[in-house]
Amino acid sequence: MPDDFLSDYRLRPDPDDPRLSVPVTGFNEAGEPVETRVTVERPLTLFLNSREIVTMMTIGDHPEYLAIGYLLNQAMLKPEDEITGIDYDDDLGVVVVRTESETNFEEKLKKRVQTSGCAQGTVFGDLMDVIENAALPQTKIRTSWLYALTHKINQTPSLYLEAGAIHGCVLAEEDRPLIYMEDVGRHNAVDKIAGYMHRHGMSPANKLFYTTGRLTSEMVIKTVRMGIPALVSRSGFTAWGVELARKAGLTLIGRARGKRFVVLSGADRLIYDQDLAYVPEESAKNRRKGAGGED
Protein backbone atom coordinates (compact mmCIF):
# COMPACT_ATOMS: atom_id res chain seq x y z
CA MET A 1 0.00 0.00 0.00
CA PRO A 2 1.39 3.46 -0.86
CA ASP A 3 2.23 5.69 2.10
CA ASP A 4 -0.22 8.40 0.99
CA PHE A 5 -2.65 7.27 3.71
CA LEU A 6 -0.17 8.62 6.28
CA SER A 7 -1.34 12.11 5.38
CA ASP A 8 -4.70 11.28 6.99
CA TYR A 9 -3.05 11.29 10.39
CA ARG A 10 -3.23 14.40 12.51
CA LEU A 11 -0.76 12.83 14.93
CA ARG A 12 1.13 9.54 14.75
CA PRO A 13 4.18 7.88 16.32
CA ASP A 14 7.66 9.14 15.65
CA PRO A 15 9.85 6.04 16.03
CA ASP A 16 12.95 8.11 15.26
CA ASP A 17 12.48 10.33 18.33
CA PRO A 18 15.67 9.63 20.35
CA ARG A 19 13.85 10.33 23.63
CA LEU A 20 11.56 7.32 23.22
CA SER A 21 14.03 4.47 22.76
CA VAL A 22 17.71 3.82 23.45
CA PRO A 23 20.27 1.35 22.06
CA VAL A 24 21.27 -1.50 24.38
CA THR A 25 23.92 -4.16 23.73
CA GLY A 26 23.49 -7.83 24.51
CA PHE A 27 23.88 -11.28 22.98
CA ASN A 28 21.70 -13.31 20.64
CA GLU A 29 20.77 -17.01 20.76
CA ALA A 30 24.16 -17.92 19.25
CA GLY A 31 26.10 -15.95 21.85
CA GLU A 32 26.95 -13.25 19.32
CA PRO A 33 27.03 -9.60 20.41
CA VAL A 34 24.05 -7.56 19.20
CA GLU A 35 22.67 -4.07 19.65
CA THR A 36 18.94 -3.49 19.86
CA ARG A 37 16.68 -0.58 20.70
CA VAL A 38 14.50 -0.72 23.82
CA THR A 39 11.60 1.50 24.81
CA VAL A 40 12.22 4.21 27.40
CA GLU A 41 10.06 4.24 30.52
CA ARG A 42 10.00 7.26 32.84
CA PRO A 43 7.85 8.57 35.71
CA LEU A 44 5.46 11.48 35.22
CA THR A 45 3.82 13.02 38.28
CA LEU A 46 0.47 14.68 37.67
CA PHE A 47 -0.85 17.58 39.75
CA LEU A 48 -4.37 18.99 39.53
CA ASN A 49 -3.96 22.58 40.72
CA SER A 50 -1.92 22.22 43.94
CA ARG A 51 -2.84 18.58 44.61
CA GLU A 52 -0.67 15.62 43.62
CA ILE A 53 -2.84 13.02 41.88
CA VAL A 54 -0.70 10.16 40.59
CA THR A 55 2.71 9.18 39.27
CA MET A 56 2.47 7.31 35.97
CA MET A 57 5.09 5.34 34.08
CA THR A 58 5.11 6.58 30.48
CA ILE A 59 7.35 6.92 27.45
CA GLY A 60 7.19 10.68 28.00
CA ASP A 61 5.70 12.01 24.77
CA HIS A 62 2.62 14.27 24.80
CA PRO A 63 2.48 14.71 28.61
CA GLU A 64 -0.15 17.46 28.33
CA TYR A 65 -2.57 15.21 26.43
CA LEU A 66 -1.89 12.35 28.84
CA ALA A 67 -2.60 14.56 31.86
CA ILE A 68 -5.86 15.97 30.51
CA GLY A 69 -7.07 12.60 29.25
CA TYR A 70 -6.30 10.91 32.56
CA LEU A 71 -8.26 13.51 34.52
CA LEU A 72 -11.20 13.32 32.11
CA ASN A 73 -11.32 9.54 32.05
CA GLN A 74 -11.08 9.39 35.84
CA ALA A 75 -13.95 11.93 36.09
CA MET A 76 -11.72 14.34 38.02
CA LEU A 77 -12.40 16.86 35.28
CA LYS A 78 -15.67 17.35 33.46
CA PRO A 79 -15.64 18.21 29.75
CA GLU A 80 -17.08 21.65 30.57
CA ASP A 81 -14.44 22.50 33.21
CA GLU A 82 -12.25 25.38 32.09
CA ILE A 83 -8.53 24.56 31.98
CA THR A 84 -6.60 27.77 32.58
CA GLY A 85 -3.11 26.37 32.11
CA ILE A 86 -0.88 23.32 31.74
CA ASP A 87 2.71 23.45 32.98
CA TYR A 88 5.21 20.71 32.17
CA ASP A 89 8.75 20.36 33.53
CA ASP A 90 10.71 17.73 31.64
CA ASP A 91 13.63 17.70 34.09
CA LEU A 92 11.38 17.11 37.12
CA GLY A 93 8.93 14.85 35.28
CA VAL A 94 5.97 16.90 36.51
CA VAL A 95 2.85 18.15 34.73
CA VAL A 96 0.39 20.53 36.42
CA VAL A 97 -3.14 21.04 35.10
CA ARG A 98 -4.76 24.25 36.38
CA THR A 99 -8.49 24.88 36.41
CA GLU A 100 -10.60 27.93 37.07
CA SER A 101 -12.29 26.34 40.10
CA GLU A 102 -11.41 23.65 42.64
CA THR A 103 -12.45 20.06 41.91
CA ASN A 104 -13.89 17.31 44.11
CA PHE A 105 -11.24 14.72 43.35
CA GLU A 106 -10.79 13.76 47.03
CA GLU A 107 -14.22 12.12 46.94
CA LYS A 108 -13.28 10.38 43.71
CA LEU A 109 -10.18 8.90 45.32
CA LYS A 110 -12.29 7.26 48.02
CA LYS A 111 -14.09 5.21 45.36
CA ARG A 112 -11.03 3.85 43.58
CA VAL A 113 -11.38 0.49 41.83
CA GLN A 114 -8.34 -1.37 40.52
CA THR A 115 -8.76 -2.62 36.95
CA SER A 116 -7.01 -5.09 34.70
CA GLY A 117 -4.96 -2.52 32.77
CA CYS A 118 -1.21 -3.00 32.98
CA ALA A 119 0.88 -0.49 34.96
CA GLN A 120 -1.79 0.11 37.58
CA GLY A 121 -4.64 1.37 35.45
CA THR A 122 -7.49 2.64 37.65
CA VAL A 123 -11.04 3.81 37.33
CA PHE A 124 -13.28 5.19 40.05
CA GLY A 125 -16.53 3.80 41.39
CA ASP A 126 -18.80 6.50 40.01
CA LEU A 127 -17.52 5.85 36.50
CA MET A 128 -19.76 2.78 36.47
CA ASP A 129 -22.62 5.28 36.19
CA VAL A 130 -21.26 6.08 32.73
CA ILE A 131 -22.24 2.57 31.60
CA GLU A 132 -25.73 2.74 33.04
CA ASN A 133 -26.43 6.16 31.52
CA ALA A 134 -24.66 5.68 28.18
CA ALA A 135 -26.32 7.14 25.07
CA LEU A 136 -23.86 6.33 22.30
CA PRO A 137 -24.62 7.45 18.73
CA GLN A 138 -26.03 4.86 16.33
CA THR A 139 -23.34 5.41 13.72
CA LYS A 140 -23.22 2.66 11.08
CA ILE A 141 -19.90 0.88 10.50
CA ARG A 142 -19.00 -0.73 7.19
CA THR A 143 -16.88 -3.87 7.46
CA SER A 144 -14.87 -2.61 4.47
CA TRP A 145 -13.72 0.26 6.70
CA LEU A 146 -12.49 -2.18 9.35
CA TYR A 147 -10.34 -4.14 6.91
CA ALA A 148 -8.86 -1.03 5.30
CA LEU A 149 -8.24 0.57 8.69
CA THR A 150 -6.45 -2.36 10.29
CA HIS A 151 -4.26 -2.74 7.21
CA LYS A 152 -3.26 0.93 7.36
CA ILE A 153 -2.51 0.75 11.08
CA ASN A 154 -0.29 -2.31 10.56
CA GLN A 155 1.64 -0.40 7.87
CA THR A 156 2.17 2.74 9.96
CA PRO A 157 5.73 3.29 11.28
CA SER A 158 5.64 2.95 15.05
CA LEU A 159 7.80 2.65 18.13
CA TYR A 160 6.52 -0.91 18.53
CA LEU A 161 8.06 -1.91 15.23
CA GLU A 162 11.28 -0.14 16.24
CA ALA A 163 11.66 -1.32 19.85
CA GLY A 164 8.58 -3.28 21.01
CA ALA A 165 7.28 -3.52 24.61
CA ILE A 166 4.54 -1.00 23.97
CA HIS A 167 0.80 -0.65 23.30
CA GLY A 168 -0.91 1.38 20.60
CA CYS A 169 -4.33 3.02 20.27
CA VAL A 170 -5.82 4.71 17.21
CA LEU A 171 -8.75 7.08 16.76
CA ALA A 172 -10.28 6.69 13.31
CA GLU A 173 -13.10 8.02 11.17
CA GLU A 174 -14.53 5.48 8.72
CA ASP A 175 -11.39 3.87 7.20
CA ARG A 176 -9.07 6.79 8.00
CA PRO A 177 -6.73 6.66 11.02
CA LEU A 178 -6.49 10.11 12.60
CA ILE A 179 -4.64 9.89 15.92
CA TYR A 180 -2.19 7.10 16.80
CA MET A 181 -0.72 7.08 20.31
CA GLU A 182 1.64 4.58 21.94
CA ASP A 183 2.73 3.99 25.53
CA VAL A 184 3.96 1.29 27.90
CA GLY A 185 0.42 0.99 29.29
CA ARG A 186 -2.56 0.90 26.95
CA HIS A 187 -4.57 3.08 29.36
CA ASN A 188 -1.95 5.83 28.87
CA ALA A 189 -2.37 5.61 25.10
CA VAL A 190 -6.15 5.88 25.52
CA ASP A 191 -5.81 8.89 27.81
CA LYS A 192 -3.52 10.68 25.36
CA ILE A 193 -6.18 10.36 22.67
CA ALA A 194 -8.89 11.58 25.08
CA GLY A 195 -6.73 14.58 25.93
CA TYR A 196 -6.11 15.36 22.25
CA MET A 197 -9.82 15.13 21.45
CA HIS A 198 -10.68 17.49 24.32
CA ARG A 199 -8.03 20.07 23.45
CA HIS A 200 -8.93 20.09 19.75
CA GLY A 201 -12.71 19.84 20.12
CA MET A 202 -13.04 16.59 18.17
CA SER A 203 -16.50 15.01 18.11
CA PRO A 204 -16.63 11.30 19.01
CA ALA A 205 -19.93 10.67 17.24
CA ASN A 206 -18.63 9.16 13.99
CA LYS A 207 -15.37 7.70 15.28
CA LEU A 208 -13.93 4.23 15.83
CA PHE A 209 -11.40 3.38 18.53
CA TYR A 210 -8.73 0.74 17.83
CA THR A 211 -6.51 -0.79 20.49
CA THR A 212 -3.82 -3.44 20.33
CA GLY A 213 -4.59 -4.69 23.83
CA ARG A 214 -7.30 -6.80 25.40
CA LEU A 215 -10.91 -5.63 25.42
CA THR A 216 -11.22 -5.27 29.19
CA SER A 217 -13.67 -3.46 31.45
CA GLU A 218 -11.26 -0.51 31.65
CA MET A 219 -11.07 -0.16 27.87
CA VAL A 220 -14.86 -0.34 27.56
CA ILE A 221 -15.49 2.21 30.32
CA LYS A 222 -13.00 4.69 28.88
CA THR A 223 -14.33 4.32 25.33
CA VAL A 224 -17.92 4.84 26.51
CA ARG A 225 -16.89 7.81 28.61
CA MET A 226 -15.26 9.37 25.55
CA GLY A 227 -18.56 8.93 23.67
CA ILE A 228 -17.08 6.72 20.92
CA PRO A 229 -19.58 4.12 19.64
CA ALA A 230 -17.19 1.33 18.57
CA LEU A 231 -14.09 -0.34 20.03
CA VAL A 232 -11.93 -2.68 17.92
CA SER A 233 -8.93 -4.83 18.82
CA ARG A 234 -6.72 -7.50 17.31
CA SER A 235 -6.74 -9.11 20.78
CA GLY A 236 -9.44 -10.89 22.76
CA PHE A 237 -12.15 -10.07 25.30
CA THR A 238 -12.79 -10.32 29.00
CA ALA A 239 -16.25 -11.40 30.17
CA TRP A 240 -16.82 -8.21 32.15
CA GLY A 241 -15.69 -6.10 29.22
CA VAL A 242 -18.34 -7.78 27.06
CA GLU A 243 -21.02 -7.41 29.75
CA LEU A 244 -20.35 -3.69 30.17
CA ALA A 245 -20.24 -3.11 26.41
CA ARG A 246 -23.66 -4.74 26.04
CA LYS A 247 -25.11 -2.64 28.85
CA ALA A 248 -23.75 0.55 27.28
CA GLY A 249 -24.66 -0.32 23.68
CA LEU A 250 -21.00 -0.19 22.58
CA THR A 251 -19.99 -2.08 19.45
CA LEU A 252 -17.19 -4.41 20.58
CA ILE A 253 -15.08 -6.12 17.91
CA GLY A 254 -12.14 -8.34 18.80
CA ARG A 255 -9.68 -10.83 17.26
CA ALA A 256 -9.54 -8.59 14.17
CA ARG A 257 -6.73 -10.20 12.20
CA GLY A 258 -6.61 -10.80 8.48
CA LYS A 259 -10.15 -11.44 7.23
CA ARG A 260 -11.43 -12.58 10.64
CA PHE A 261 -13.08 -10.73 13.50
CA VAL A 262 -15.67 -11.43 16.21
CA VAL A 263 -18.31 -8.91 17.33
CA LEU A 264 -19.80 -9.61 20.77
CA SER A 265 -21.77 -6.40 21.31
CA GLY A 266 -23.49 -3.83 19.11
CA ALA A 267 -23.56 -5.91 15.93
CA ASP A 268 -26.58 -3.90 14.74
CA ARG A 269 -24.22 -1.07 13.74
CA LEU A 270 -22.36 -3.24 11.22
CA ILE A 271 -22.97 -3.19 7.47
CA TYR A 272 -21.36 -6.29 5.95
CA ASP A 273 -20.28 -4.78 2.64
CA GLN A 274 -16.81 -6.35 2.27
CA ASP A 275 -16.36 -9.26 -0.14
CA LEU A 276 -14.11 -11.54 1.90
CA ALA A 277 -12.67 -13.09 -1.26
CA TYR A 278 -10.64 -9.89 -1.68
CA VAL A 279 -9.32 -9.80 1.91
CA PRO A 280 -6.01 -11.63 2.39
CA GLU A 281 -5.34 -13.81 5.38
CA GLU A 282 -2.83 -12.34 7.80
CA SER A 283 0.63 -13.64 6.99
CA ALA A 284 2.90 -15.17 9.61
CA LYS A 285 5.13 -12.09 9.25
CA ASN A 286 2.27 -9.72 10.04
CA ARG A 287 1.11 -11.91 12.92
CA ARG A 288 4.54 -11.47 14.44
CA LYS A 289 4.85 -7.74 13.90
CA GLY A 290 1.22 -6.54 13.95
CA ALA A 291 0.42 -3.11 15.31
CA GLY A 292 2.04 -2.21 18.57
CA GLY A 293 1.29 -3.96 21.79
CA GLU A 294 1.38 -7.27 23.59
CA ASP A 295 -1.61 -8.74 25.35
Instruction: Give me the domains of the chain, ranges plus CATH numbers.
Output: 1-295 (3.40.140.10)
For position 293, what pLDDT does the model report? 53
Task: Give this prediction's pTM.
Answer: 0.87
How far apart, in Å, do the first and last CA atoms of the chain sit? 27
pLDDT tens-place string over residues 72-97? 998 889 888 999 999 999 999 999 99
For position 273, what pLDDT does the model report? 96
Confidence bin at 114 (pLDDT 50/70/90): very low
For position 74, what pLDDT does the model report? 87
Q: Which residues contact 149 (CB under 8 A, 6 or more apart)?
A: 170, 172, 175, 176, 177, 208, 210, 232
Least confident span in 60-64, 92-96, 120-124: 120-124
Confidence bin at 295 (pLDDT 50/70/90): very low
**Bridge-based pairing state of the strands 42-48 and 94-99:** parallel
Q: Which residues contact 152 (CB under 8 A, 6 or more apart)?
A: 1, 5, 8, 175, 177
- pLDDT of 286 > 90? The answer is no
pLDDT tens-place string over residues 63-75? 999 999 999 998 8
- pLDDT of 21 > 80? The answer is yes
Confidence bin at 287 (pLDDT 50/70/90): very low
User: What is the rounded CA–CA span in Å between residue 173 and residue 197?
Assistant: 13
Q: What percent of the chain has pLDDT over 70?
A: 86
Tell which wins on pLDDT, 290 or 41.
41
- pLDDT of 194 > 90? The answer is yes
Task: Show the CA angle centred on residue 6, arms to residues 66 and 207, nearest 5°.
Answer: 55
Confidence bin at 108 (pLDDT 50/70/90): low
Supply the DSSP symbol for 219.
H
For position 176, what pLDDT does the model report? 96
Please answer whether residues 62 and 88 qualify as being in contact, where contact means their C-beta atoms are separated by less than 8 angstroms: no
- pLDDT of 247 > 90? The answer is yes
- H or E element, residue 222: helix 217-225
For position 284, what pLDDT does the model report? 52
How much helix, strand and coil, in percent to the nearest 5, is found in the chain? 30, 30, 35
Q: What percent of the chain has pLDDT over 90?
A: 71
- H or E element, residue 200: helix 186-200
Tell which wins on pLDDT, 113 or 68.
68
Please answer whether residues 219 and 190 qualify as being in contact, where contact means their C-beta atoms are separated by less than 8 angstroms: yes
The mean pLDDT value for 98-108 works out to 71
Confidence bin at 13 (pLDDT 50/70/90): very high
Mean pLDDT, the chain, whole residue set? 88
